């Protein structure tokens, strides 16, 4: 066993060297690395309107509310929320959950989760996506395993395009982060779009004025 | 030695089913149209393509530097970086990690690299249960077929056929073909597999040298479910997936989904930097498998820009009508016809001819690979190496001879026009002449161009 491990490790090192050597043997002129000129990319005068339009296009639903206290009322109008029993909320000022995810050790225990109410950092107008910082999630799987997902995001936090989005997360030091654009979906059967592939079946986004 | 692929023969069955061929053609043209709509919505589209191409050219030229920077940063964040010379070595590395963890069940999200390496069959032969979790990949896996498209693996299969497959394997109602019902059945079936998976394997869309992080893009959320339940994540990537800086993603995330499926971005664009927590592991396998050799070619190096969006397939008139399986390669379509012969010229020599040189692929490519120029360049190389069939070589030699002697050219023209007038149909339309299978010979012209020109020149 020890012998085998040693042999494998050596073969890894030699592959590394072989690959790097082969690249270094063939010198290629290196043109400069281009940067994007912010003046040459699209910006929106009404980014919230664009975000709402794009979110609808990718299958999500936007709700503009004044404060986090208004979120609950909107959710209560949704049948699958009224009947939900297993809810994790990472935005306790908006909705109280029924499960404390920080007390869950094994993510598999979240298999039967009905809803996750997550917090979004900011919105991107051009594609209706929201940046969710992994550090806000006690378990990464919360975002993907719940049958339904809601994301609460401050109205003031919005950028026009992905260049600005990456500018905002420049130097991001977390282990995980994701742009979420609409509910999970697939068109793998005859190009028929079906919402609710492996992740959430629907996505509600709460754009909160005072947050 | 790989078997020789004759594209026309391999495409025959698909093309001879006109309903399927037309249906396939239209399904892909629909995707292409969605792409056009998205591309047209951004005034800076061409600027983005140029920038993406520039970033890739820079990165590939400076690849040794960025690979080492990536390795350093990924390792500092707690990932384990492995280097694989070729497909076999890659498979051995993955199996070793599985064995180290005594794993029998893995959940896999889409990775064209692992398809290229034949990982699934290798692992299955070694007693591992491999579950593809992308819906399209699961469909083809259950049917024991390879994917026919790199983004839409089951684009060649009709919903009734999916229904039959699911009836057999998942116990759905016989005759059911509603995509919503079938997707729901797959969701339930794969949820159980996700919960039982011991290790998650994913591909990689982009790797960032500056952070040591990885980006994986999916619509279904399968890569995320597959990596956020098990403690071990293995990410397999070709070395060309590298980007220098995180902000370069701004360009590529804007191009990828718009080019691939006409979406403004994929549903999930996930950034993994190091393992999930102190008790988890992230293994990254960097694979060469012919890429450093491709990099040495001035003519074909730009093919390494490819971000596997599939736009060139969706637009290709040959791919749309002949289906992805006719290329007998992991990556079909125009980019596949450039890449496959770099692996084995003799086996894939017919692929650069599965092309009308219309140039549509080069027009839609988000990273500006000059695809149709490369396909033409391949033809030059293949002719030079005498890899064409004797019939084509002989005809080309004769044509070149003819063009060198004007008198001979005129004489043969005269004979040809005469022959067109007097030859009976049976002399031209017979089983030895493939050219006339679906074509009629033209009527001979009343006047040759040469005569017409002479008549008008003096006026």
Average pLDDT over residues B273-286: 97
Q: How far apart are CA B374 and CA B341, in angstroms?
A: 11
Does residue B130 have a pLDDT over 90? yes
Decide: residue B394, CB within 10 A, 0-12 exposed, 13-18 middle, 19+ buried.
exposed
Interface of A with B in 64-83 (CB under 8 A): none
Give the Å distances, CA to CA, from B290 to A21, B241, B375. Answer: 14, 14, 18
- Inside any domain, residue A18: no
- Chain B partners within 8 Å of A39 (Cβ): none
**Residue A6 pLDDT class (50, 70, 90 cuts):** very low
- Inside any domain, residue A33: no
Q: Token pair of B110, please?
A: 């889409």
- Inside any domain, residue A23: no
Contact A141 B228 (CB under 8 A): yes
Same-domain check for residues B230 and B334:
no
- Inside any domain, residue A24: no
Contact B271 A177 (CB under 8 A): yes
- Chain A partners within 8 Å of B272 (Cβ): 175-176
**Residue B459 pLDDT class (50, 70, 90 cuts):** low
- Chain A partners within 8 Å of B253 (Cβ): 162, 179
Same-domain check for residues B220 and B337:
no
Average pLDDT over residues A136-142: 97
Measured torsion, CA atoms of residues B110, B115, B118, B123, in degrees rounded to the nearest 10: 0
Does residue A4 have a pLDDT over 70? no
- Inside any domain, residue A89: yes
**CB burial readout B319-349, b (16+ within 10 A) else e:** bbbbbbbbbbbbbbbbbbbbbbbbbeeebbb
**Residue B433 pLDDT class (50, 70, 90 cuts):** confident
Q: How far apart are CA B90 and CA A120, in angstroms?
A: 38
Structural domain total, chain A: 1
Same-domain check for residues B400 and B360:
no
Contact A199 B267 (CB under 8 A): yes
Q: In this prediction, what percent of chain A has a pLDDT beyond 90? A: 92
- Chain B partners within 8 Å of A170 (Cβ): 246-247
Q: How far is A177 from chain B (nearest CA, A)?
A: 5
Q: How far apart are CA B145 and CA B127, in angstroms?
A: 20
Measured torsion, CA atoms of residues A101, A106, A111, A115, in degrees rounded to the nearest 10: 10
Predicted local confidence at residue A11, as pLDDT: 59
Q: In this prediction, what percent of chain B has a pLDDT beyond 70? A: 99
Closest CA in chain A for residue B183: A197
Task: End-to-end CA distance of chain A: give it in Å, rounded.
Answer: 58
Measured torsion, CA atoms of residues B237, B240, B244, B248, in degrees rounded to the nearest 10: -90
Structural domain total, chain B: 3
Q: Token pair of B357, please?
A: 């040189």
- Inside any domain, residue A144: yes
Predicted local confidence at residue B1, as pLDDT: 59
Q: In this prediction, what percent of chain A has a pLDDT beyond 70? A: 94
Q: Which domain holds residue B313?
A: 303-384
Same-domain check for residues B216 and B332:
no
Higher-confidence residue of B431 and B70: namely B70
Chain B contact for A179 (CB, 8 A cutoff)? yes
- Inside any domain, residue B95: yes
Same-domain check for residues B80 and B185:
yes
Q: Token pair of B422, please?
A: 């007097």
CA nearest to B149, candidates B317, B310, B304: B310
Residue A145 makes CB contacts below 8 A (sequence gap 6+) with A107, A110, A111, A113, A116, A199, B225, B228, B229
Strand order in the sheet with A202-210: A61-67, A202-210, A148-154, A115-119, A87-89
Same-domain check for residues B54 and B85:
yes
- Inside any domain, residue B24: no
- Inside any domain, residue B232: yes
pTM for the whole structure: 0.94
Q: How far apart are CA B118 and CA B87, in angstroms?
A: 7
- Inside any domain, residue B294: no
Contact A144 B47 (CB under 8 A): no
Q: Token pair of B244, please?
A: 């220098």
Q: Facing residues of B214 across strands?
A: B207, B272
- Inside any domain, residue B339: yes
Q: Is the dihedral of CA A146, B256, B327, B316 positive or negative?
A: positive
Residue B321 makes CB contacts below 8 A (sequence gap 6+) with B11, B14, B15, B21, B24, B25
Decide which of B289, B313, B342 is a domain's last residue. B289
Q: What is the CATH number of the domain that holds B215?
A: 3.40.50.10420
- Chain A partners within 8 Å of B164 (Cβ): none
Average pLDDT over residues B254-273: 98
Average pLDDT over residues B279-283: 97
- The interface predicted TM-score (ipTM) is 0.95
Higher-confidence residue of A176 and A12: namely A176
- Inside any domain, residue B118: yes
What mean pLDDT is reported for chain B? Answer: 95
Contact A198 B133 (CB under 8 A): yes
Decide: residue B55, CB within 10 A, 0-12 exposed, 13-18 middle, 19+ buried.
buried
- Inside any domain, residue B368: yes
Across the interface, which of B57, B83, B89 has its CB nearest the CB of A31? B57
Q: Which domain holds residue A174?
A: 47-210
Q: What is the CATH number of the domain that holds A81?
A: 3.40.50.10420
Using one digit for the tens of pLDDT, what is the confidence trace for A61-110?
A: 999 999 999 999 999 999 999 999 999 999 999 999 999 999 999 999 99
- Inside any domain, residue A11: no
Average pLDDT over residues A100-124: 97
Q: Which H/E stretch holds residue B149?
A: none
Give the Å distances, CA to CA, from A158 to A54, A66, A132, B264, B372. Answer: 13, 16, 13, 17, 41
Task: End-to-end CA distance of chain B: give it in Å, rounded.
Answer: 64
Same-domain check for residues B324 and B408:
no
Does residue B112 have a pLDDT over 80? yes
CA nearest to B330, candidates B203, B158, B197: B203
Same-domain check for residues B339 and B284:
no
Contact call for residues B352 and B361 (beta carbons, < 8 A): no
Same-domain check for residues B412 and B442:
yes
**Residue A5 pLDDT class (50, 70, 90 cuts):** very low
Residue B41 makes CB contacts below 8 A (sequence gap 6+) with none
What radius of gyration do chain A's Cα atoms show?
A: 22
Residue B227 makes CB contacts below 8 A (sequence gap 6+) with A140, B109, B200, B202, B233, B272, B276
- Inside any domain, residue B27: no
Contact A196 B82 (CB under 8 A): no
Using one digit for the tens of pLDDT, what is the confidence trace for B61-106?
A: 999 999 999 999 999 999 999 999 999 999 999 999 999 999 999 9
Across the interface, which of A24, A41, A199 has its CB nearest the CB of B44? A41
Predicted local confidence at residue A10, as pLDDT: 52
What mean pLDDT is reported for chain A? Answer: 94
């Amino acid at each position: 066993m020890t012998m085998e491990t040693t042999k494998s490790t050596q073969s890894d090192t030699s592959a590394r060297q072989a690959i790097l050597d082969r690249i270094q043997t063939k010198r290629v002129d290196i043109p400069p690395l281009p940067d994007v000129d912010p003046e040459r990319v699209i910006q929106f005068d009404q980014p919230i309107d664009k975000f709402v339009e794009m979110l609808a296009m990718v299958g999500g639903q936007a709700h503009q509310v004044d404060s986090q206290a208004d979120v609950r009322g909107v959710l209560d109008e949704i049948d699958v929320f009224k009947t939900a029993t297993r809810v994790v909320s990472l935005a306790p000022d908006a909705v109280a959950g029924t499960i404390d995810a920080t007390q869950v050790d094994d993510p598999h225990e979240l298999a039967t989760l009905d809803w996750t109410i997550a917090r979004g950092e900011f919105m991107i107008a051009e594609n209706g996506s929201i940046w969710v910082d992994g550090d806000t999630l006690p378990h990464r799987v919360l975002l993907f395993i719940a049958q339904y997902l809601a994301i609460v995001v401050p109205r003031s936090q919005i950028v026009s395009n992905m260049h600005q989005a990456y500018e905002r997360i420049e130097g991001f030091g977390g282990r995980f982060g994701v742009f979420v654009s609409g509910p999970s979906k697939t068109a793998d059967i005859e190009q028929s779009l079906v919402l609710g592939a492996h992740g959430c079946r629907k996505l509600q986004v709460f754009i909160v004025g005072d947050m | 030695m790989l078997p020789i692929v004759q594209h026309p023969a391999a495409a025959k069955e698909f093309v001879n089913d006109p309903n399927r061929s037309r249906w396939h053609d239209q399904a892909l043209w629909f995707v292409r149209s969605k792409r056009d709509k998205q591309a047209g919505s951004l005034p800076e589209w061409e600027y983005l393509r140029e920038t993406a191409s520039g970033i890739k050219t820079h990165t590939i030229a400076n690849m040794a530097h960025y690979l080492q920077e990536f390795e350093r940063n990924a390792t500092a964040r707690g990932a384990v970086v492995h280097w694989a010379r070729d497909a076999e070595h890659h498979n051995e590395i993955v199996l070793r990690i599985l064995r180290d963890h005594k794993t029998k069940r893995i959940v896999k999200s889409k990775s064209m690299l692992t398809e290229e390496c034949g990982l699934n069959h290798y692992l299955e032969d070694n007693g591992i249960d491999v579950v593809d979790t992308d819906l399209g990949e699961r469909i083809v896996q259950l049917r024991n077929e390879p994917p026919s498209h790199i983004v839409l693996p089951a684009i060649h299969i009709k919903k009734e056929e999916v229904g039959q497959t699911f009836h057999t394997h998942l116990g759905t109602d016989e005759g059911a073909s509603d995509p919503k019902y079938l997707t729901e059945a797959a969701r339930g079936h794969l949820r159980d597999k996700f919960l039982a998976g011991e290790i998650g394997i994913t591909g990689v869309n982009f790797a960032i040298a500056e952070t040591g992080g990885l980006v994986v893009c999916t619509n279904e959320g399968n890569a995320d479910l597959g990596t956020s339940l098990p403690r071990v994540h293995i990410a397999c990537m070709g070395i060309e997936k590298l980007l220098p800086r995180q902000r370069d993603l701004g360009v590529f995330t804007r191009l990828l989904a718009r080019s691939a499926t006409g979406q403004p971005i994929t549903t999930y664009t996930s950034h993994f930097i190091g393992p999930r927590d102190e008790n988890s592991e992230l293994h990254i396998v960097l694979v060469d498998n012919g890429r450093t050799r491709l990099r040495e070619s001035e003519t074909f190096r730009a093919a390494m820009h490819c971000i596997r969006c599939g736009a060139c397939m969706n637009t290709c008139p040959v791919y749309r009508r002949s289906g992805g399986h006719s290329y007998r390669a992991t990556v079909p379509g125009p980019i596949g016809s450039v890449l496959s012969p770099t692996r084995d010229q003799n086996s894939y020599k017919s692929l650069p001819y599965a092309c009308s040189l219309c140039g549509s692929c080069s027009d839609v490519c988000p990273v500006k690979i000059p695809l149709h120029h490369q396909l033409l360049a391949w033809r030059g190389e293949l002719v030079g190496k005498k890899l064409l069939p004797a019939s084509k070589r002989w005809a080309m030699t004769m044509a070149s001879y003819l063009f060198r002697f004007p008198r001979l050219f005129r004489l043969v023209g005269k004979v040809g026009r005469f022959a067109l007038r007097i030859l009976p149909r049976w002399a031209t339309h017979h089983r030895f002449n493939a050219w006339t299978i679906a074509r009629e010979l033209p009527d001979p012209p009343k006047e040759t161009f040469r005569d017409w020109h002479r008549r008008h020149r003096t006026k």
